[in-house]
Amino acid sequence: MTSKTELAVDKFLEQTDSEVASFFEACVHCGMCAEACQFHLSTGDPKYTPIYKLRPMERAYKREKAPFSRLKKMLGLAPKPVTEKELIEWAPLVYDGCNMCKRCTLVCPMGIDIAGTIRKMRAGYAAAGLAPEEL
Amino acid sequence: MSFLNLVEGPLFTFAAAVFVLGALWRLIGIIRIGRAKDISPPKASAAAGFIKGNLRHFFPRGIFAKRTMVHIIGGYGFHLGLFMLVFFGVYHIDFLNERILGFSWPALPRWAFLLTSAVAFSGLITLWVRRISDPVMQLISDKDDHIGSWLTFLVMLSGCFALEQAHDSLRGVHMLLVDIWLIYFPFSRLMHSFTFFLSRGQSGMTYGRKGKVR
Amino acid sequence: MHNQFYSLRNFLKLSVLMLMLAAFAAPVAAQSVRPPGNAVNLDDGIEDGPSNALGDVSDTEFWDNFRGGNPSELFAPAPEGQVMTTTGQQWRMIREKFIRKYLGWAPVIVIGLLAVFYLVRGPMKITAGRSGKTLPRFTLSARVAHWFMAGVFIILGLTGMIILLGRVVIAPYLGLEANSVLTSAAMQGHNLFGPIFIFALIWLFIKFVRGNFFQWIDLKWIFKLGGFFGGHVSSRQFNFGEKTWFWMVILGGIVISVTGVIMLFPGLVEDVRWLQLSTILHALGAVALIAVAFGHIYVGTIGMEGSIDSMLKGEVDENWAKEHHDLWYEEVTGKSAKEEETP
Ligand code: HEM
Ligand code: SF4
Ligand code: SF4
């Protein structure tokens, strides 16, 4: 039996093509995207930092798909697996925390397309039936 | 074999091999995943977008530049400074010439080398203290960020410590840290020095295809 | 620049050597010394001085002249026969008998006092507890300026201490060779980070000067000893202690910077006594700042609950603000700091 988490993670991995992979590989955690996102600017809450909204998907990629991920898993250095609790916690960020304005991409030194990746992340939520009901 | 010979000889060769092979493996690994098919008809060239995306993100955008000024100045100061130090410091040119390349090029004069070091150090310190003193940065930073910053800092600091060139042991410590840095590089976020062009380029491709590079 | 630096060092070393030679030779010279014919030459002076000093004719005039170098003409060629200055003697006395011997104890004593204070009084808690509500206190760029200075200050403090005290603290335990390696490293580091300190100082000044000017209300703070021994003290954005620290850093920093630049570029001054004064002021200023910095770090971390938030998050708890900066709290919020003391 496949759990919701597995369904979501599988979809995340499927959605992570070389473009999204290069985003996760290149992000330097510089935090500049936060300075562009209206959700962060108007609330002051760090959780609205654009790259942070992608965290579960990033973790899934780094644990299961990234180069050296098998080596890191063997050595116990891979990031922890994604949990359902976490996915539920992130749902408001993924669905209500981004209006696809793409300002973060303008400011990002790595040109990371957060909005496009959030859309792909939503596909994972939908596949797992974790998307908010009203949608 | 003396300590210096070890860290400049076999250990350096090993570290350099790990660096080159590891970095290649990772880059190829990312590219091999392949891009998802885009079925919409292209409005403009994706390849041009790749290049545009890469160039576009060298320059800060007006409306945001002010808010991120400290970061931009620190970032450029550090990266350009380090680049100049590594490739135009006379000791580095000599080392590369003798060990690897077999040719050399003009070096920075000593005063410029020291000035550049000061700029690079200032930049790196700025970037790291910003990382520890802001809730956003505290939330998104992980161990890798700190290890990367500190390893790079220690490599630079040990290099600075060896500047008198009076003690082999100081040069040895610098080289040992360089070796560790080279080995750490491909497995860490330090790889952003290579992956940045993939990331900028691919988002440039996606938007280039749609006719507007962000 | 580089050459001058080394020639200065050689010059000082030579002075010391000569001084020792002269001290040996002087009693003998009183009876039967003939000036060596070539004593004017620095190279030959060392070898021929003492052996020829056992000659036959007494000549105190020679030795007076020998030591009569003019300290104000450091880089000018000395007149015939004049080899060294004697101001170095007093400088050496101050450096060896006072600075190297006692100065290093200042930070140690401060740490000891802080430890005693901590054990006796414990940390200052936020008495009303944390409210959970916060007020913005420092912008990100101010925080970065602060930590930038703190980082550079720590690097310079450590390397400077090695340069100053390595000979008396490190060498006896780890040996001369280890000390020589450490000092060489520390010297290069110190020289490179010195100029960065000037930049850090300017940055810090710009970001923190507002609110740091002394005011009448500071007098009350002084009379109540800052509230460290009980009692409530009022203050606006910065209290007297913080203001004093700010101005110590700025003024002390200027002294250290100016004297540091002089030592880094000795060609800037003509008179060797400026250099000697510089080394002394530089060490005094630096050690004083280091000593007080421990007090600052204590209050900023374990000494006072809630302080570090202002530098790590940029925001402080409202109750922290009410208790330590009540007037500032009232200015910022427009509310009274006395009411609604509920946690
Ligand atoms: C490394 C340990 C340090 C810690 C934990 C620390 C902590 C702090 C904290 C918490 C504040 C804010 C106080 C408030 O909210 O009013 C502060 C302010 C300040 N610190 Fe530090 N600090 C450190 C090192 C330094 C150093 C080395 C310097 C200078 C050489 C320095 C200079 C200042 C100045 C000028 C201020 C501005 C406030 C004032 O006017 O007093 N700090 N520090
Ligand atoms: S701006 Fe870009 S590189 Fe920086 S943290 Fe955000 S996504 Fe990562
Ligand atoms: S695209 Fe989304 S994450 Fe990026 S700035 Fe806009 S709202 Fe924020």
- Residue B207 in contact with residue B213, Cβ under 8 Å? yes
For residue C71, the CA-to-ligand 1 centroid distance in Å is 41
Domain count, chain A: 1
B195 alpha carbon, closest ligand: 2
- Residue B209 in contact with residue B42, Cβ under 8 Å? yes
Backbone torsion region of residue C271, taken as left when φ is above 0, otherwise alpha when ψ lies between -120 and 50, otherwise beta:
beta
β-pair partners for C134:
C317
β-pair partners for C136:
C315
Q: Please give the class, per CATH, of domain C104-333.
A: mainly alpha
- ipTM computed for the complex: 0.93
> Is residue B201 included in any domain, yes or no?
no
How far apart are the CA of C139 and the nearest CA of chain B, in angstroms?
Answer: 10
d(CA C148, CA A60): 36
Which structural domain, as residue segments, surrounds residue A53? 4-127
Which structural domain, as residue segments, surrounds residue B93? 3-31+63-188
Is the CB of B134 less than 8 angstroms away from the CB of C186? Answer: no
> Is residue B46 included in any domain, yes or no?
no
Q: What is the pLDDT of residue A119?
A: 93
What CATH number does the domain containing A95 carry? 1.10.1060
What CATH number does the domain containing B181 carry? 1.20.950.20
Residue-wise pLDDT tens digits, A5-50: 888 999 999 999 999 999 999 999 999 999 999 999 999 899 999 9
Residue-wise pLDDT tens digits, C199-225: 999 999 999 998 888 888 777 777 777
Give per-10-residue mean pLDDT for chain C (343 aa).
Answer: 45 50 43 45 49 58 66 59 70 83 89 92 83 88 96 96 91 91 95 97 95 80 70 76 92 96 89 87 95 94 88 90 83 73 44
Q: Which residues from B are below 8 Å from A50, CB to CB?
A: none
d(CA C130, CA C136): 15
Domain count, chain B: 1
> Is residue B194 included in any domain, yes or no?
no
Listed in sequence order, the residues at least 6 apart from C259 whose beta carbon sits closer than 8 Å to its beta carbon are C277, C278, C279, C281, C282, C285
Position C92, amino acid: R
Is the CB of A25 less than 8 angstroms away from the CB of B200? Answer: no
Substitution target from B26, B31, B33, B189 for chain A, most A beta carbons within 10 A: B33
Structure tokens at A63: 């644990």
> Is residue B206 included in any domain, yes or no?
no
Backbone angles phi, psi at B114, to 5 degrees: -65, -40
Lowest mean pLDDT among A12-16, A131-135, B201-205: A131-135
> Is residue B128 included in any domain, yes or no?
yes
Q: Is A56's C-beta closer than 6 angstroms to any atom of ligand 3?
A: no
> Is residue B42 included in any domain, yes or no?
no
β-pair partners for C317:
C134
> Is residue A134 included in any domain, yes or no?
no
C175 touches chain B (CB under 8 A): no
> Is residue B160 included in any domain, yes or no?
yes
d(CA A5, CA A9): 6
CATH 1.20.950.20 domain range(s) in chain C: 104-333
- Index of the ligand 1 atom closest to the CA of residue C250: 35
Q: Which of A31, A47, A72 sits opposite B134 (nearest CB)?
A: A31
Backbone torsion region of residue A76, taken as left when φ is above 0, otherwise alpha when ψ lies between -120 and 50, otherwise beta:
left
Pocket test for ligand 1, best of C213, C235, C310, C311 (most atoms within 8 A of CB): C311
- Index of the ligand 3 atom closest to the CA of residue A102: 1
Is the CB of C314 less than 8 angstroms away from the CB of B164? Answer: no
Tally of CA atoms within 13 A in the half-sphere of C269 that contains its CB: 19
Q: Pick the residue with more confidence: A81 or C1?
A: A81
Ligand 2: which residues within 6 Å by Cβ? Answer: A 27-33, 50-51, 108-110, 112
| Closest-CA residue to B161 (of C181, C150, C257) | C181
3-state secondary structure (DSSP) of residue C284? helix
B199 alpha carbon, closest ligand: 2
